[in-house]
């Protein structure tokens, strides 16, 4: 029950931090948060620990938690590493995907693609997460999968915002389709390149990404 309640708090606090409603340096008092959400301090503490693992909160011994300062440079560095990790996952998946895994990957793509043209952004994001997780699994490299998932978790609040950029769902689904085809065709070089490009933020996508960030991110990078 405690873990369940904590999981309900995490997306709310994530959103408030990423959008700047809770600014860097803001103290996150466990007692006040418990009162606000009508829970005990235990699920609040679990939620803050989760946010700390995602780099959104800093927990200071004997002084409590505060909202972390995240610079654009830090974000871009993480996305750069993420793109390469996911690219390797896709390369290995193209070589190692099993007959049993192939239908699930295709079905995950089709489920995402069916949401294009709707405003079901959160549903698309969850479907997108399922698709990428299946690619990680198909790499059949447990260490790589673990590292990729951990960094993905740190970037999830920002990737969730990306799907709300106008026109991004259509483009994202087109990219997913090409990636899935490359994996199912066993084209490892193409699968890696397409996946890396899919995750990398550059050019117009960089400008679009900046538009989703509140002003304090820009200030923190100066």
Domain boundaries, the chain: 2-67, 72-215
Alpha carbon 27 to its chain centroid, in Å, reads 24
Q: Domain 2-67, what architecture? A: Orthogonal Bundle (1.10)
Q: Does the pLDDT at position 204 exceed 70?
A: no
pTM of the model: 0.77
Task: List the 27-28 sheet strands across, edge first.
Answer: 27-28, 64-67, 57-60
Percent of the chain predicted with pLDDT > 90: 55
Q: What is the pLDDT of residues 97-149, one digit of tens each?
A: 999 999 999 999 999 999 999 989 889 999 999 999 999 999 999 999 999 99
B/e letters for 68-100, b = 16+ CB within 10 Å, e = fewer, are bebbbeebbebbeebbbbbbbbbbbbbeebeee
Model confidence pLDDT, tens digit, residues 42-98: 999 999 998 988 788 999 887 889 998 877 788 888 889 999 999 999 999 999 999
72-215: what CATH class?
Answer: mainly alpha
């Amino acid at each position: 029950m405690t873990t369940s309640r904590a999981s309900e708090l995490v997306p709310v606090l994530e959103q408030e931090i990423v959008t700047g409603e809770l600014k860097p340096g803001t103290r996150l008092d466990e007692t006040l948060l418990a009162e606000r959400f009508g829970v005990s301090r235990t699920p609040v503490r679990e939620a803050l620990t989760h946010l700390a693992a995602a780099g959104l909160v800093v927990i200071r011994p004997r002084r409590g938690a505060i909202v972390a300062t995240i610079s654009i440079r830090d974000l871009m560095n993480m996305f750069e590493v993420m793109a390469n990790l996911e690219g390797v996952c896709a390369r290995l998946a193209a070589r190692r995907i099993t007959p049993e895994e192939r239908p699930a990957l295709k079905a995950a793509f089709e489920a995402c693609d069916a949401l294009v043209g709707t405003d079901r952004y959160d549903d698309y994001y969850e479907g997108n997460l399922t698709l990428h997780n299946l690619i990680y699994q198909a790499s059949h490299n447990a260490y790589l999968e673990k590292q990729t998932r951990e960094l993905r978790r740190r970037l999830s609040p920002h990737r969730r915002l990306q799907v709300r950029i106008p026109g991004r769902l259509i483009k994202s689904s087109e990219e997913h389709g090409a990636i899935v085809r490359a994996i199912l065709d066993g084209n490892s070089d193409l699968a890696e390149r397409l996946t890396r490009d899919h995750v990398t933020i550059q050019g117009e996508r960089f400008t679009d990404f900046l538009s989703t960030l509140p002003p304090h991110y820009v200030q923190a990078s100066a």
